[in-house]
């Protein structure tokens, strides 16, 4: 009886395996076809960006592979700009300074660590740094008032130096806290994360690099081509928006998630209702408001930053959902431990909210790259105030687009590559954000 | 180290849900008080009001000699251990314990001294550099306690600190809390739903239900003289048996009649009843399972029942017995007191007889559910 | 009480039963809604009355400090030693007074007519008259300011009352330093929300309010300030947009609205089910390179839409790659009118939107699929369910339940999905009255009305209609879908 059963079951089992194989095969086929469809436009885009607008046609043609691969389109984007030599200089300066500073701070930390009164050394550093900042600010202010180009340069240089000091001090302090002698004297103390130190040094180096670029920019501004200008415009908008918008969104969502006050429900309901109005409805009013402030056309960059950030508090939903999942007892415990609500926000919630902070920054940073509507309306025909989206859109939709299509492709590639890389690197946080947001509605 | 006074404290949530009614209690300095009751009885709310995490709707709360109704939790000089420990996940155990001290701008040396001392008391020195997620439940519990004791607070609050631990660890931690209390000797307020914890830890126990205090007393008091049916049923495990009975007043005293037996009451009880002016009436008679005895000698003055379930617990038997009118009672009989033959006779469905000593019987009024002997 | 008869019913019976129940309850619900609304209004007036009464009693019982505050805001607080608060109040009043005298009153008084003096040309010089736009904008701003002032004034008096009570009970008032400290603690929400609220007020609420008012004026290309005045016209614009006729946009509006809803439906549900399907395929046990498949698909989210959509729109153009290659390979003999035929254009847009939308849904579905407890499937397998049954009985209900609210927001988002339409077809092919095209959504039509036609009054009305449509959809769905309300069922 038992034997019969196993015999009968065996062919069925085998067929089940075959069935499985067939299903998987189908799935692989479908996925491969999908991948091709998904990637093909981008491959085309890249291919066409290499078609020379000088030797062939810059517009639409009836073949895919360029007959002559050339960098003509890319060269056009940078025509009239000293972009590359400038960048090279900035990076070189940055790297040297960063390396020196990293070494200095490392030594500083070590030295301070060895001394008994470690707080004293840190304090001296801090006071020195602050004095330098104050002095530099004074010089810069006078320079600005007097309009002396030289003094202005000196002032900016001093500010930059002071910033170095300050950052250095902060890093030294962090260094001390994390790895101080006091901690190491505890029996059983082990440094859990060995990468921590390396990571810190890397961030530090990066900070110095950015600072160096800023200095380089202040000392010798880049001469920009149209495209480079649009690119810098967009980058500036994106950076500022990322910082400000994140600060605003986090403040609002923290307040609505953790604090209980009169009018909380009212605020949430109002945001719900306001969200039902289409955003472009307000466009002319916003344009007029910005115009009153002088922030349109050539000055569109600060104007756009203002527009993107001013109402961003209404987008609190996803991060509030995240805050809601952090146990309330942590807040309560910290408050009993003696923290004010501000300290709870800063010392307990913020460190725990890292994923959602990254998500918010990512979203805020990416949005300005794709905005055409407000950007074009605020810039109102002045190419100095365009962002990349407006500039490239105009290239494609001008009468001359037969000549500008391949240049559009090249410009698009240069925008898409860094943004895509950033997105893919932080994909994990993006997924966390959208899934959390979708599940909670 | 301070005394606490709660006077007419009341908590009303919006829409008129009253969580705590008119709570009056004086807690002496260095006393260990336990709030106990079923979930939703208002014990945690009361604790959170003392901590300052909930506003007090009405009444006054005094810590030491300061009215603290409107004082922020951070200024009340209290420490609290939470049910889910509430350890800060992003910093090490060391920094967790140092957190409150650093906020008070204490010097590094002092912080270090206190943290190390607390860690030593609790035996968690070797985990100081770890983050909370790398600790086991018991270790986390210790860290939570450590974080509270480094503060050297006036009042030590604990909100069901052991309920997230498994049974074995809970017993062990309970013992450690008793030891800890001896070492740091300050005022403790401890909330639990577990009557065993309440009995073993508390100097005094506050039993609550539906926002009202049912009884306040030492473990001994609440066990031996429960004030009402609820307290009688809540304290002790398995639960006290409640039997319908008739109280008959005669010229020379009272006697209770139930299931065909007569229990003459002692002089002490009679005096209490007489003082209350109780006449003949229906009563509920309470007997704890551990106070019952099986009777194998055919004594007529015993109660007869049918054995439904026989639970062998090792040192004792828990017998679930149905009486004639369907009431179910539990008897707790030490195994050693029975002979082999007697144990063999306790088959499912068999008839048995049991009795109890008069002095353990509790009498309750069926209408008011209050004890008649209080 | 368990309704055993209900449990016994078959699925269609249950559906019919619930359907009937919903409609039976509908009048009651609508009635209930009105009762609630009535109660809210009554409550508001009652609170208002109480507030006014409180003003009188406070004045009657107040000391001189409190009474002085009725006239000079903040004076009471300053007299009580709360300098910080008092100064703020005082400053606010001063600014308000200066603003009203120098600026606000003039605009407020003209709000009724939106200006009467037209701009004229006297000889070669242009003499500017009233600017209706400015009058309306600053009029609204002033109105807001007045309301804010009244509210602050009320707060000022309330604070005096409370301060007086505190003093009477013998406690100490908060000093300025304590006030500042509380902004970091018990009043921390004020610190956090001050700036964001101000931003929303100036850059969202004020403009929306302004545009709602514009819907009741004749502000368009024929009435452009500063050259021309515009004025109130009542519901004229609503009539023009909604009624049929040669000079009206009623037919266009209906067509555009219909296409907007059809588009939103397909864009939401097609993407939803296809995205879920892809997620299930990738997540199936035994499929390798999961991460690679996902990353490839996610590319369309990562690359800015203006690059990818503009490029794809050119691919589908009449002389674009698709047409030329299809012709070359002899699959077609005529160019496919992707963007010039209304039907093709709509189809192409929905198709390309799948390309953009699937990855997003795939990510969400992946997250949720991983959250479905594995024991649900194990138990179903032991009960004898096959793959399809498990999908129908576990995966789908779970997904629908969890993403119910998301579907609603997604539908709303698609009604306002400007980018896809604008970057792909710009609403073309054109040909409807009111300068609208066959693929125009309400929102792109609104955009064209604003930017190219400068027909602001109609743009404003369209904006209001979008709001009405969305509000109706949201209200109905909130009342119908259970998962929006009780989120706990599946946990």
Q: Point out the least confidently predicted range of A162-166, B142-146, B255-259, C169-173.
A: A162-166
For chain C, the residue count is 491
Measured CA distances, C76 to B83, C73, C179 (Å): 47, 7, 16
Query: In terms of residue numbers, what domain contains B200?
Result: 4-233
What are the chain A neighbours of C207 within 8 Å (beta carbons)? 281-282, 285-286, 289
Does residue B297 lie in a domain region? Answer: yes
User: Hey, which residues does B311 pair with through a beta bridge?
Assistant: B318
A261-270 per-residue burial string, b: 16 or more CB within 10 A, e: under 16: eeeeeebeeb
Does residue B372 lie in a domain region? Answer: no
Which CATH code is given to the segment(s) A225-441?
Answer: 1.10.3720.10
Does residue B370 lie in a domain region? Answer: no
What are the chain C neighbours of A259 within 8 Å (beta carbons)? 188-189, 192
In this prediction, residue A113 carries a pLDDT of 53
In this prediction, residue A91 carries a pLDDT of 73
Does residue B210 lie in a domain region? Answer: yes
C247 touches C433 (CB < 8 A)? no
Q: Which of A8-22, A207-221, B239-253, C170-184 has the highest mean pLDDT?
A: B239-253
Is residue A254 very low, low, confident or very high in pLDDT (cuts 50, 70, 90)? very high
Q: Cβ separation of A338 and B74 shorter than 8 Å?
A: yes
pLDDT > 90 fraction of chain A, expressed in percent and rounded: 10
Q: Cβ separation of A438 and C293 shorter than 8 Å?
A: no
Q: What is the mean pLDDT of chain B?
A: 88
Q: Which of B86, B125, B131 sits opposite A330 (nearest CB)?
A: B86
Place of tokens 């527009």: A307
Where are the extended beta strands (E) located within B170-327? 187-192, 204-209, 212-217, 241-250, 253-258, 261-264, 281-287, 293-295, 303-312, 316-323
In this prediction, residue C408 carries a pLDDT of 85
B122 and B26 fall within a common domain:
yes
What are the chain C neighbours of A28 within 8 Å (beta carbons)? 287
Q: Cβ separation of C203 and A261 shorter than 8 Å?
A: no
Going by C-alpha positions, the residue among A326, A345, A364 that lies closest to residue A255 is: A345
Going by C-alpha positions, the residue among B11, C142, B91 that lies closest to residue A348 is: B91
B272 and B126 fall within a common domain:
no
Q: Looking at CA atoms only, how far is residue B341 from chain A in angstroms?
A: 48
Q: Cβ separation of B88 and A183 shorter than 8 Å?
A: no
Taking CA–CA distances from A335, the nearest residue in chain C reads: C185
Whether residue A343 lies within 8 A of chain B, CB to CB, comes out as: yes
ipTM: 0.84
Taking CA–CA distances from A270, the nearest residue in chain C reads: C205
In this prediction, residue B18 carries a pLDDT of 87
Q: Cβ separation of B82 and A329 shorter than 8 Å?
A: yes
**Could you say which of B204, B233, B262 is where a domain stops?**
B233
CA dist C264 and A362 (Å) reads: 27
The structural domains of chain A, with segments of one domain joined by +, span 1-36, 83-222, 225-441
In this prediction, residue C437 carries a pLDDT of 83
B242 and B229 fall within a common domain:
no
pLDDT tens for each residue of C321-333: 888 888 888 888 8
Taking CA–CA distances from A189, the nearest residue in chain B reads: B129
CATH number at B59 reads 3.40.50.300
Q: In sequence order, which ranges of chain B are alpha helices (DSSP H)?
A: 43-51, 93-103, 108-122, 137-149, 167-184, 195-201, 219-224, 229-234, 267-276, 340-345
Write down all domains in chain C, each with its CATH number in brackets: 51-234 (no CATH), 250-485 (1.10.3720.10)
Is 90 exceeded by the pLDDT of residue A168?
no
Q: Cβ separation of B80 and A188 shorter than 8 Å?
A: no
B254 and B226 fall within a common domain:
no
B151 and B287 fall within a common domain:
no
Q: Which of C210, C325, C447 sits opposite A280 (nearest CB)?
A: C447
pLDDT tens for each residue of C270-298: 999 999 889 988 888 788 888 888 888 88
Q: Cβ separation of C192 and A45 shorter than 8 Å?
A: no
CA A211 to centroid of chain Cα atoms: 16
pLDDT tens for each residue of B100-122: 998 888 888 888 899 999 998 88
Whether residue A352 lies within 8 A of chain B, CB to CB, comes out as: yes
Q: Cβ separation of A337 and B147 shorter than 8 Å?
A: yes
CA dist C360 and C299 (Å) reads: 10
What mean pLDDT comes out for the span A290-296?
A: 85
Is 70 exceeded by the pLDDT of residue B82?
yes
pLDDT > 90 fraction of chain B, expressed in percent and rounded: 32
pLDDT tens for each residue of C433-474: 777 788 888 888 888 888 888 888 888 999 999 999 998 888
Instruction: Write the Ramachandran bin of B287: left for phi over 0, alpha for psi from -120 to 50, otherwise beta.
Output: beta
Q: Looking at CA atoms only, how far is residue C385 from chain A in angstroms?
A: 15
What mean pLDDT comes out for the span C31-52?
A: 87
Q: Which of B82, B99, B129 sits opposite A186 (nearest CB)?
A: B129
Q: Is A154 exposed, middle or buried (0-12, 13-18, 19+ CB in 10 A)?
A: middle
In this prediction, residue A63 carries a pLDDT of 74
Look at residue C52 and give its three-state secondary structure.
Answer: helix
B77 and B188 fall within a common domain:
yes
In this prediction, residue C313 carries a pLDDT of 87
DSSP state, residue B125: G
Going by C-alpha positions, the residue among B1, B374, B52, B48 that lies closest to residue B216 is: B374
pLDDT tens for each residue of C110-144: 888 877 777 777 777 777 778 888 888 888 889 99
In this prediction, residue B220 carries a pLDDT of 92
Counting the structural domains of chain B, the total is: 2
B39 and B135 fall within a common domain:
yes
CA A246 to centroid of chain Cα atoms: 10
In this prediction, residue A158 carries a pLDDT of 61
What are the chain B neighbours of A352 within 8 Å (beta carbons)? 89-90
Q: Which of A17-26, A91-100, A243-252 has the highest mean pLDDT?
A: A243-252
Taking CA–CA distances from A337, the nearest residue in chain B reads: B100
Q: What is the mean pLDDT of chain A?
A: 75
**Could you say which of B233, B258, B291 is where a domain stops?**
B233
B226 and B298 fall within a common domain:
no
Taking CA–CA distances from A343, the nearest residue in chain B reads: B103
Q: Cβ separation of A337 and B151 shorter than 8 Å?
A: yes
Is residue A280 very low, low, confident or very high in pLDDT (cuts 50, 70, 90)? confident
B134 and B191 fall within a common domain:
yes
Is residue B254 very low, low, confident or very high in pLDDT (cuts 50, 70, 90)? confident
What are the chain C neighbours of A419 within 8 Å (beta carbons)? 302-304
pLDDT tens for each residue of A136-153: 555 555 554 444 455 455
**Could you say which of B183, B202, B233 is where a domain stops?**
B233
In this prediction, residue A162 carries a pLDDT of 61
Does residue B145 lie in a domain region? Answer: yes
Is 70 exceeded by the pLDDT of residue C482?
no
What mean pLDDT comes out for the span C219-241?
A: 83
CATH number at B356 reads 2.40.50.140
Q: How are beta strands B362-364 and B32-36 bridged, if at all?
A: unpaired
Look at residue C74 and give its three-state secondary structure.
Answer: coil
B51 touches B157 (CB < 8 A)? yes
Q: Looking at CA atoms only, how far is residue B49 from chain A in angstroms?
A: 12
User: Hey, which residues does B263 pair with through a beta bridge?
Assistant: B256
B81 and B223 fall within a common domain:
yes
In this prediction, residue A146 carries a pLDDT of 46
Q: Is A373 exposed, middle or buried (0-12, 13-18, 19+ CB in 10 A)?
A: buried
Is residue C349 very low, low, confident or very high in pLDDT (cuts 50, 70, 90)? very high
CA dist C377 and A185 (Å) reads: 53
Is residue C91 very low, low, confident or very high in pLDDT (cuts 50, 70, 90)? very high
Taking CA–CA distances from C288, the nearest residue in chain A reads: A28
Does residue B205 lie in a domain region? Answer: yes
pLDDT > 70 fraction of chain B, expressed in percent and rounded: 99
Taking CA–CA distances from A38, the nearest residue in chain C reads: C297
B191 and B273 fall within a common domain:
no
Does residue B311 lie in a domain region? Answer: yes
Going by C-alpha positions, the residue among C366, C451, B290 that lies closest to residue A435 is: C366
pLDDT > 70 fraction of chain A, expressed in percent and rounded: 65
* Dihedral angle over CA of B23, B24, B28, B34, nearest 10: -40
What mean pLDDT comes out for the span C226-254?
A: 82
Q: How many residue pairs from chains A and C have C-beta atoms closer than 8 A?
A: 258
What mean pLDDT comes out for the span A46-63?
A: 78
Name the token pair of C126. 């242009």
Q: Point out the least confidently predicted range of A177-186, A342-351, C72-81.
A: A177-186
What mean pLDDT comes out for the span A112-137?
A: 55
Is 70 exceeded by the pLDDT of residue A97?
no
B119 and B257 fall within a common domain:
no
What are the chain B neighbours of A327 within 8 Å (beta carbons)? 84, 86
CA dist A155 and A149 (Å) reads: 10
Does residue B255 lie in a domain region? Answer: yes
């Amino acid at each position: 009886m038992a034997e019969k059963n196993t015999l009968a079951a065996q062919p069925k089992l085998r067929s089940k395996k075959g069935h499985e194989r067939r299903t998987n095969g189908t799935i692989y086929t479908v996925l491969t076809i999908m991948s091709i469809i998904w990637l093909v436009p981008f491959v085309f885009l890249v291919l066409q960006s290499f078609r020379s607008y000088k030797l062939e046609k810059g517009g639409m043609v009836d073949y895919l592979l360029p007959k002559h691969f050339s960098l003509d389109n890319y060269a056009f984007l940078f025509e009239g700009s000293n972009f590359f030599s400038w960048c090279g200089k900035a990076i070189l300066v940055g790297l040297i300074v960063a390396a020196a500073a990293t070494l200095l701070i490392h030594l500083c930390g070590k030295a301070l660590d060895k001394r008994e009164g470690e707080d004293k050394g840190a304090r001296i550093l801090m006071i020195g740094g602050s004095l330098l900042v104050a002095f530099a600010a004074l010089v810069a202010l006078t320079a600005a008032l007097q309009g002396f180009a030289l003094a202005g340069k000196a002032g900016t240089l001093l500010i930059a130096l002071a910033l170095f000091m300050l950052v250095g001090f902060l890093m030294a302090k962090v260094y001390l806290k994390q790895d101080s002698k006091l901690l190491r004297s505890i029996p059983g103390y082990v440094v859990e994360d060995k990468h921590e130190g390396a990571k810190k040094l890397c961030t530090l180096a990066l900070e110095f690099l950015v600072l160096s670029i800023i200095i380089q920019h202040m000392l010798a501004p880049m001469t920009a081509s149209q495209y480079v200008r649009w690119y810098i415009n967009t980058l500036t908008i994106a950076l500022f928006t990322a910082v400000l918008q994140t600060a605003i969104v986090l403040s609002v969502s923290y307040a609505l998630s953790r604090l209980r006050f009169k009018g909380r429900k009212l605020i949430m309901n109002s945001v719900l209702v306001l969200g039902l109005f289409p955003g472009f409805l307000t466009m002319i009013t916003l344009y007029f408001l910005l115009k009153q402030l002088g922030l349109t056309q050539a000055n569109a960059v600060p104007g756009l930053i203002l527009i993107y950030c001013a109402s961003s508090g209404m987008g609190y939903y996803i991060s509030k959902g995240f805050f809601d999942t952090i146990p309330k007892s942590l807040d309560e415990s910290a408050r009993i431990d003696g923290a004010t609500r501000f300290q709870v926000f800063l010392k307990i919630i913020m460190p725990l909210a890292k994923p959602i902070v990254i998500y918010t920054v990512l979203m805020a940073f990416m949005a300005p790259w794709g905005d055409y509507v407000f950007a074009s309306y605020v810039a109102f025909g002045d190419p100095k105030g365009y962002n990349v989206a407006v500039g490239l859109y105009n290239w494609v939709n001008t009468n001359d687009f037969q000549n500008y299509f391949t240049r559009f492709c090249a410009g698009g590639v240069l925008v898409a590559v860094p943004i895509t890389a950033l997105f893919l690197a932080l994909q994990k946080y993006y997924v966390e954000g959208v899934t959390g947001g979708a599940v909670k509605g | 180290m301070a005394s606490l006074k709660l006077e007419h404290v009341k908590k009303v949530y919006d829409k008129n849900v009253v969580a705590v009614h008119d709570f009056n209690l004086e807690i002496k300095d260095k006393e260990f008080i336990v709030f106990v009751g079923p979930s939703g009885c208002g014990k945690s709310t009361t604790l959170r009001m003392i901590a300052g995490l909930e506003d007090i709707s009405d009444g006054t709360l005094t810590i030491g000699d300061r009215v603290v109704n409107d004082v922020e939790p951070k200024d009340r000089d209290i420490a609290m251990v939470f049910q889910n420990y509430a350890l800060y996940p992003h910093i090490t155990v060391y920094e967790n314990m140092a957190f409150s001290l650093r906020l008070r701008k204490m010097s590094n040396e002092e912080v270090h001294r206190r943290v190390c001392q607390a860690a030593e008391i609790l035996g968690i020195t070797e985990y100081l550099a770890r983050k909370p997620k790398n600790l086991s439940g018991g270790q986390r519990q210790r860290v939570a306690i450590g974080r509270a004791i480094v503060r050297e607070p006036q009042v030590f609050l604990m909100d069901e600190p052991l309920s997230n631990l498994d049974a074995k660890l809970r017993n062990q931690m309970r013992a450690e809390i008793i030891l800890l209390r001896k070492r740091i000797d300050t005022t403790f307020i401890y909330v639990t739903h577990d009557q065993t914890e309440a009995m073993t830890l508390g100097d005094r126990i506050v039993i609550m239900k539906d926002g009202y205090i049912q009884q306040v007393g030492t473990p001994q008091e609440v066990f031996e003289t429960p004030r009402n049916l609820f307290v009688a049923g809540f304290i002790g495990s398995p639960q006290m048996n409640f039997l319908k009975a008739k109280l008959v007043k005669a010229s020379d005293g009272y006697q209770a009649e139930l299931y065909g037996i007569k229990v003459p009451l002692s002089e002490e009880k009679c005096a209490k009843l007489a003082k209350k002016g109780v006449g003949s009436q229906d009563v509920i008679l309470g007997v704890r399972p551990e106070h019952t005895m099986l009777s194998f000698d055919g004594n007529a003055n015993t109660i007869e029942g049918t054995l439904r379930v026989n639970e062998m617990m090792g040192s004792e038997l828990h017998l679930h017995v149905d009486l004639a009118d369907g009431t179910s009672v539990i008897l707790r009989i030490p195994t050693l007191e029975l002979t082999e033959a007697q144990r063999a006779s306790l088959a499912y469905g068999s008839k048995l007889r049991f009795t109890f000593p008069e002095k353990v019987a509790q009498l309750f009024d069926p209408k008011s559910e209050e004890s008649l002997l209080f | 009480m368990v309704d055993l008869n209900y449990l016994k019913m078959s699925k269609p019976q249950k559906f019919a039963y619930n359907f009937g129940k919903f409609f039976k309850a509908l009048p009651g619900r609508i009635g209930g809604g009105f009762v609630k609304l009535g109660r809210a209004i009554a409550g508001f007036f009652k609170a208002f009355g109480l507030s006014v009464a409180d003003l009188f009693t406070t004045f009657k019982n107040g000391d001189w400090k409190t009474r002085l505050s009725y006239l000079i805001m903040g004076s009471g607080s300053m007299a009580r030693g709360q300098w910080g608060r008092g100064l703020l109040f005082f400053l606010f009043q001063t600014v308000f007074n200066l603003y009203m005298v120098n600026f606000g009153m003039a605009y407020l008084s003209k709000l009724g007519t939106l200006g009467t003096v037209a701009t004229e040309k006297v000889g070669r010089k242009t003499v500017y008259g009233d600017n209706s736009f400015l009058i309306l904008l600053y009029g609204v701003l002033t109105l807001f300011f007045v309301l804010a002032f009244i509210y602050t004034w009320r707060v000022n008096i309330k604070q005096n009352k409370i301060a007086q009570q505190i003093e009477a009970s013998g406690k100490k008032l908060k000093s300025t330093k304590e006030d500042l400290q509380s902004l970091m603690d018990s009043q921390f929400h004020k610190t956090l929300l001050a700036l964001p609220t101000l931003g929303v007020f100036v850059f969202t609420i004020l403009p929306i309010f302004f545009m709602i008012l514009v819907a009741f004026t004749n502000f368009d290309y024929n009435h452009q300030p500063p050259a021309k005045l515009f004025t109130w016209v009542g519901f004229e614009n609503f009539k023009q947009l909604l009624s049929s006729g040669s000079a009206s946009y009623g037919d266009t509006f209906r067509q555009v609205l219909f296409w907007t809803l059809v588009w939103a439906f397909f864009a939401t549900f097609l993407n939803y089910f296809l995205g879920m399907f892809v997620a299930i395929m990738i997540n199936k046990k035994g499929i390798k390179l999961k991460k690679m498949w996902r990353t490839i698909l996610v590319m369309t989210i990562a690359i800015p839409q203006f690059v990818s959509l503009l490029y794809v729109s050119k691919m589908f153009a009449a002389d674009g790659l698709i047409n030329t290659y299809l012709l070359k390979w002899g699959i077609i003999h005529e160019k496919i009118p992707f963007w010039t035929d209304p039907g093709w254009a709509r189809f192409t847009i929905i198709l390309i939107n799948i390309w953009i939308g699937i990855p997003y849904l795939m990510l969400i579905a992946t997250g949720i699929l991983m959250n479905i407890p594995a024991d649900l499937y194990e138990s179903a397998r032991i009960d004898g369910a096959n793959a399809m049954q498990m999908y129908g009985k576990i995966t789908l209900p779970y997904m629908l339940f969890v993403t119910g609210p998301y579907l609603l927001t997604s539908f709303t988002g698609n009604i306002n999905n400007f980018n896809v339409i604008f970057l792909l077809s710009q609403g073309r092919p054109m040909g409807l009255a009111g300068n609208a095209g066959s693929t125009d959504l309400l929102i792109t039509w609104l955009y064209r009305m604003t930017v190219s036609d400068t027909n602001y009054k109609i743009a404003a009305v369209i904006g209001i209609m979008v709001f009405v449509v969305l509000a109706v959809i949201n209200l109905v769905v909130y009342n119908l879908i259970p998962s929006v309300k009780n989120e706990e069922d599946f946990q």
